[in-house]
Amino acid sequence: MRKWKRIETAEGPRFRSALAPHEAALLKNLGTALIGLLDERESSSPSDELEEITGIKTGSSESPDDPTLRRLLPDFYKSDDGDPLADSSDSLNAALRNLHEPQIIEAKRGAAQQLLDTVPDDGGRFELTEDAANAWISSVNDIRLTLGVMLEIGPHGPERLPDDHPLATHFDVYQWLTVLQEYLVLVLMGKPAG
């Protein structure tokens, strides 16, 4: 991956880069897998008669069982010791999840689809609008979160996995996505990347 370059145009800023063919294929595979994971969660929501009457989408009131989905769709409220809402946090999370999870899934799916639509099929140069660049940041972050769960990455690392570790290549992908995202954030902010 080449570094990102910001170009000012009459229609607003554009963000240019290039991907090697294997990088483009990897992003397409990971984005497609992310959409599949979100679709699976959405389809597991129970049917709701009120939704059929009003057209207002509702989601599951239960937290996902899958640790990856729990990371992508965390609880809305976490109580601390001595919190007066501690006893009602489960019901509060269930209500908030039921109301807001469909829109969150839709936003995550939309960002992933925008990434898929803008990744050049066989690699090469490409250009993003500001909206598409923000979708990339969001989607790459979601992909990183899913890989982070699989790799059991906590707030402080690990810095590296041994080369003979079965997930070493996945860790390399995680690091590559981190750099891709960081450089795009920097160029969006108008700062030089790297």
Q: Of all residues in the chain, what percent carry a pLDDT higher than 90?
A: 54
Residue among 122, 141, 56, 63 at smallest CA distance from 97: 63
What pLDDT does 88 receive?
67
- Lowest average pLDDT, out of 28-37, 70-79, 133-142, goes to 70-79
pLDDT digits (tens, 9 = 90+) for 43-84: 887 666 666 777 677 778 788 889 999 999 888 877 666 666
Query: CB 30: neighbour CB atoms within 10 A?
Result: 22
Digit-coded pLDDT (tens) for 100-136: 889 999 999 999 999 999 999 999 999 999 999 999 9
Give the model's pLDDT for residue 3: 86
| CA–CA distances in Å: residue 91 to residues 39, 40, 49, 82, 138 | 25, 24, 20, 18, 29
DSSP designation for 7: E
CA distance 40 to 159: 32
What average pLDDT is seen over the chain?
86
Q: Is 35 helix (H, G, I), strand (E, B) or coil?
A: helix
Distance, in Å, from the CA atom of 13 to the CA atom of 105, rounded to the nearest integer, reads 28
Q: What is the residue type of 57?
A: K
Mean pLDDT of 24-37: 97
| Cis previous bond, 162, omega within 30 | no
pLDDT of residue 161: 72
How sure is the predictor about 138, in pLDDT bands with cuts at 50, 70 and 90? very high
Mean pLDDT, residues 148-167: 77
Number of alpha carbons in the 13 Å side-chain half-sphere of residue 50: 6
Residue 194 has pLDDT above 60, yes or no: no
pTM: 0.85
Burial class (CB in 10 A: 0-12, 13-18, 19+), 7: exposed
Higher pLDDT: 167 or 103? It is 103
Rounded to 5 degrees, what angle do the CA atoms 166, 170, 171 make? 95
pLDDT exceeds cutoff 70 at 42:
yes
Q: Residue 170 in contact with residue 147, Cβ under 8 Å? A: yes
Specify the pLDDT at position 57.
Answer: 73
